[in-house]
Amino acid sequence: RFVRYTSINTRSNEESTTIPSTQTQVDFATNVLVPDLKAIGLDEVIYNRENGFVIGTLNANTDAKAPSIGFIAHMDTADYNAENIKPRIIENYDGNDICLNEEHQIFTRRTDFPNLKNYIGKSLVVTDGLTLLGGDDKAGICEIMEALSYLVAHPEIKHGKIMCAFGPDEEIGTGADHFDVKQFPVDFAYTIDGESLGQLEYETFNAAGGTVMLKGVSVHTGTAKGIMINCAKLAMQFDALLPGAAVPEHTCGRQGFFMLMSMETQVDTGKMNYIIRDHDKELFEAKKAFFLQAGQTLNEIYGREVCEVSVKDQYYNMYDIIKDNMECVNVAKAAMEKAGITPICDPIRGGTDGSKISFMGIPTPNIFTGVENLHGRHEFACIDDMKKAVEVIVNIVNIEK
């Protein structure tokens, strides 16, 4: 299933105005996921054309009181080549460098990716070096599918109502904006969208996007003295006003940052796009205020408006919701321990669809998929750890734990 799903291009498109952002996601949802869920034997499967989500339900098979639980994964893949993906299975990985593409001499090297040492003796799925794999998050989709299939085939495992949701456009940050919680009446849920074995994440960044519109003055260089204002120089000045140590390459753990994502300038116009991140809400608000103040400072330096700065919130730290609803975390911890897995509960230096869905009223932490090196040619999935993710999902819903 995983090889079949990852071979299909479902890359999202940030420039699109449609929902989902690409027709390939619609096709994948309607032509692959819906039929596959029906084939498994779920009680109800729907595709919501308004938001692009596939919803499936497996009704409770017991009268015993049990929570209704949801599992969520996203269909789209990241902003990297996803055309003509050719997954390849390596059985019993020997721990050496992996040749992804002999013709182009593309390797996943141990010196670059020391995490490879954790997978010696296991089976991996890798790329041909020319595309990403798409395990983020088709691994999550497959693991939910396989867990549901197992539960249908083993009715002796008693469970409450189980729901699944496969959605679009997580990678561009818009899919969960349109999630319909009324179509997903569960007590709590999990995104199956983490990375290495054991990850159980219920703390994310608070996130915002910052935009700086630059306004310069263009004039012939021969008569530019005292007149020209070069937006390329303005961009450098603005960035220099931000704290140099508060960038991704110099931070870790719960340290937040500013990141210049893109910049385009001519002499008289320019635009800079930033992301602003922090786990702590007060520090997050302070960073946004600092960013806006940098714009005011630059305008004061020039005595005129040379930049217009704006900030827009993107998502918030799910822990602010989950800390008062820890049942979902405790259930997942117990399910992992039953599977012989030690939970790893580190904060995410990013976000998931669960960040937004938690604030919609469904506490939704994140669970590992067994995929690493995301969003590029060196992405790989560990089949052994994917099977463990399936086991954890089954353990979560099994009320006779």
Residues forming the active site:
76, 170
Distances 97 to 93, 107, 374 between C-alpha atoms, Å = 10, 7, 18
Q: Say which residues have a Cβ less than 8 Å from residue 325's Cβ, sequence separation at least 6.
A: 188, 363
CA distance 347 to 279: 8
- What does the DSSP 8-state code read for residue 121? T
| Tally of CB atoms within 10 A around 304 | 10
Return the closest-CA partner of residue 203 out of 341, 323, 87, 339: 323
- What does the DSSP 8-state code read for residue 393? H
| Token representation of residue 384 | 């052994």
CA distance 273 to 275: 7
Considering Cα of 210, then 215, then 220, then 223, what sign does the dihedral take? Answer: negative
CA dihedral 30, 47, 375, 139 (to 10 degrees): -80
Q: Say which residues have a Cβ less than 8 Å from residue 350's Cβ, sequence separation at least 6.
A: 204, 205
* 3-state helix vs strand vs coil in the chain, percent to 5: 35, 25, 45
The three-state (H, E, C) secondary structure of 340-372, written as one string? CCCCECCCCCCCCHHHHHHHCCCCCCEECCCEE
CA distance 365 to 322: 8
CA distance 6 to 168: 15
Cα 67 to chain centroid distance, Å, stands at 26
CA distance 162 to 100: 39
Residue 328, Cβ density class (10 Å: 0-12 exposed, 13-18 middle, ≥19 buried) = buried
Q: Are 16 and 22 in contact (CB under 8 A)?
A: yes
Q: Are 199 and 315 in contact (CB under 8 A)?
A: no
3-state SS, residue 109: coil
